[in-house]
Amino acid sequence: MNQDNNKTGRGKTIAYIRISSIDQNEVRQIKAIDPVDRTFIDKISGASRNRPQLQAMLEYIRDDDLILVKSPDRLARSTTDLLHIVQEIREKGAQLRFIDNPNLNTDTPQGAFMLTVLGAVAELERATIRERQAEGIALAKERGVYSKQRSPKLRATDIKRAHDLVSQGVPKTRIAKDLGVSRTTLHHALTGTGRYKPVEPEIKSKGENL
């Protein structure tokens, strides 16, 4: 491995590797990163943050650890997810380096600047989406076709997983972030309130035909 990837200090050097399916070979990523103290490998799509080894790695890291990843797309498939994961890593006191994209390394001033720029771009994108949604709602109201009722964001499988994670002691803030919802939405899903309140069957009056 390139000597620039080595790290001295009391922390550990950790590799995170993701391949998109069990048929893809992870050897190329391992060769680019080794040697390390610990390796976490996910064989799953990067579209979801609900990756077992990613979560295990985030739980494992400690202060002064260094996480090595071959490229940003191995860690996340969207700017928002990437920034959330980077923030979680830095909150643990660890640093992140990308073998193929050193300009995003968190332990350099250039990397910190680039991540700040990415954060600003992501916020601008979210603001633009909110503005377009507001415009769409206004137009729908003008046409008289707007309804406040929206479909729940979490599916039954998501809610079951959330209950399982809560029982394992995972903080609800992290669960909500992983599922891409707010704490309020997660609370409603877990307690069966709001949009997640079970629909009661309609009771017919005695005069109605059965």
Active site members = 20
Query: CA 154 to CA 98: how far, in whole Å?
Result: 32
Chain-centre distance for alpha carbon 1: 29
Query: CA 122 to CA 1: how far, in whole Å?
Result: 33
Query: CA 206 to CA 210: how far, in whole Å?
Result: 9
Instruction: Name 67's bridge partners.
Output: 14, 96
Return the structure tokens found at 186: 């997660």
Nearest residue to 190 (alpha-carbon basis) of 169, 160, 170: 160
Phi, psi at 13, each rounded to 5°: -100, 125
Phi, psi at 98, each rounded to 5°: -105, 125
Query: CA 152 to CA 144: how far, in whole Å?
Result: 23
